[in-house]
Amino acid sequence: MNRNIEKKVKVFISLIFLMLVCLLLNAEAKDNPQEQKILVLENKLRMNTESLDAVRRDQLNYKIEKDLLKETYSSNLQTILLP
């Protein structure tokens, strides 16, 4: 039982040490201006990619709506001209 507790304490201490290392690395990355610039550029790239996807989707929707309107107009015109 004593060994089990020792094992748990070692694991707990190891986890705390690992968390501290991660926090230090994160703090170091935030303090680095070049790292901040890279993060900003990555964020802008992601936003531009999402915007481009939205534009492409909107263009496709516009094309579909335009084709549907042409078809409807043609069908209505034929209906009017038949009698």
DSSP structural state of residue 36: H
Q: What does the domain layout of the chain look like in residue ranges?
A: 1-31, 33-83
Which residue in the block uniquely carries the two structure tokens 């790292």? 35
Residue-wise pLDDT tens digits, 30-80: 667 787 788 889 889 999 999 999 998 999 999 999 999 999 999 888 888
Full-model pTM = 0.50
In this predicted model, what pLDDT tens digit does every residue of 2-26 receive, in sequence order? 677 777 777 788 888 888 877 777 7
Q: Which residues neighbour 35 within 8 Å (Cβ) at sequence distance 6 or greater?
A: 29
Q: What is the CA radius of gyration of the chain?
A: 31
